[in-house]
């Protein structure tokens, strides 16, 4: 009998998959995440699974069904989706119901983790760093953080833009780029993991450290 793989990750869409691919494409990503290195195949259909409909409601309603085939092949399952979508019951209910369905379908309670991002994935990627401006191809003399504040997208004193996805889309329109997974992957490859203060990302971080304990970089 073949040994089971360490972890399967189910995400809601291709941009979210690209972000995870970016995190795991880093040199010594285990040190960045503060966990032990484990085998992970970030090809879609490998250890990284995307809802075929590419949406958060699909993961909410049938995530347990999508992950049922992986119970024999994988030790653990991480599920990640946004909180903001039409009909969303909110973070607490999303986490509770998806977790319950996973356990009822056969996963061990300590082998699953559901992450609901408030409001959405882009909250993980916004940082006041030059790399963010470079990937978004923003080249104005005014720093991007200052420019977004002047345009009402990122108020002074706020850790993140209140509407993170719309802020990304707006900047991309200014720079003439379509939103794509390649952009999300590049952002995730280089932004500061220690500088990400989003609660959902910190939850991913702590989950991986608990599942795969390792030395935390200093």
Counting every residue written for the chain, the total comes to 218
Give the 3-state secondary structure of residue 67. Answer: helix
Q: Please tell us whether the domain made up of 5-121+195-211 is placed in CATH 2.30.30.
A: no
Q: Which residues does 184 contact at the CB level (< 8 Å), separation at least 6?
A: 15, 16, 18, 19, 22, 121, 125
Where in the chain are the domains?
A: 5-121+195-211, 124-184
Q: What is the pLDDT of residues 200-210, one digit of tens each?
A: 999 999 999 99
Consecutive H or E run containing 77: strand 74-82
Q: What is the pLDDT of residues 162-193, one digit of tens each?
A: 999 999 999 999 999 999 999 999 999 988 88
Kindly state the percentage of the chain with pLDDT values over 70. 97
What phi and psi values does residue 61 have, to the nearest 5 degrees? -85, -30
Partners of 82 in the β-ladder: 117
Residue 218 reports pLDDT greater than 60: no
Partners of 50 in the β-ladder: 11
């Amino acid at each position: 009998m073949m040994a089971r793989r360490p972890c399967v990750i189910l995400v809601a869409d291709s941009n979210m998959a690209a972000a995870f691919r970016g995190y795991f494409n880093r040199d010594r990503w285990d040190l960045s995440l503060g966990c032990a290195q484990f085998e992970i195949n970030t090809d879609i259909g490998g250890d990284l699974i995307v809802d075929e409909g590419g949406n958060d409601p699909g993961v909410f309603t049938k995530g347990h069904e999508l992950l049922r085939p992986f119970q024999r092949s994988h030790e653990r399952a991480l599920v990640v989706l946004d909180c903001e979508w039409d009909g969303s019951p909110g973070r607490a209910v999303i986490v509770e119901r998806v977790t319950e369905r996973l356990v009822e379908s056969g996963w061990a309670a300590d082998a699953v983790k559901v992450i609901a991002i408030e409001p959405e994935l882009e909250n993980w990627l916004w940082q006041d760093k030059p790399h963010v401006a470079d990937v978004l191809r923003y080249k104005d003399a005014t720093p991007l953080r200052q420019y977004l504040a002047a345009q009402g997208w990122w108020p002074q004193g706020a850790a993140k833009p209140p509407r993170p996805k719309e802020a990304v889309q707006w900047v991309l329109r200014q720079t003439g780029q379509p939103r794509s997974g390649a952009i999300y992957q590049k952002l995730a490859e280089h932004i500061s993991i220690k500088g990400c203060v989003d609660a959902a990302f910190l939850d991913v971080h702590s989950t991986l450290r608990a599942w795969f304990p390792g030395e935390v970089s200093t």
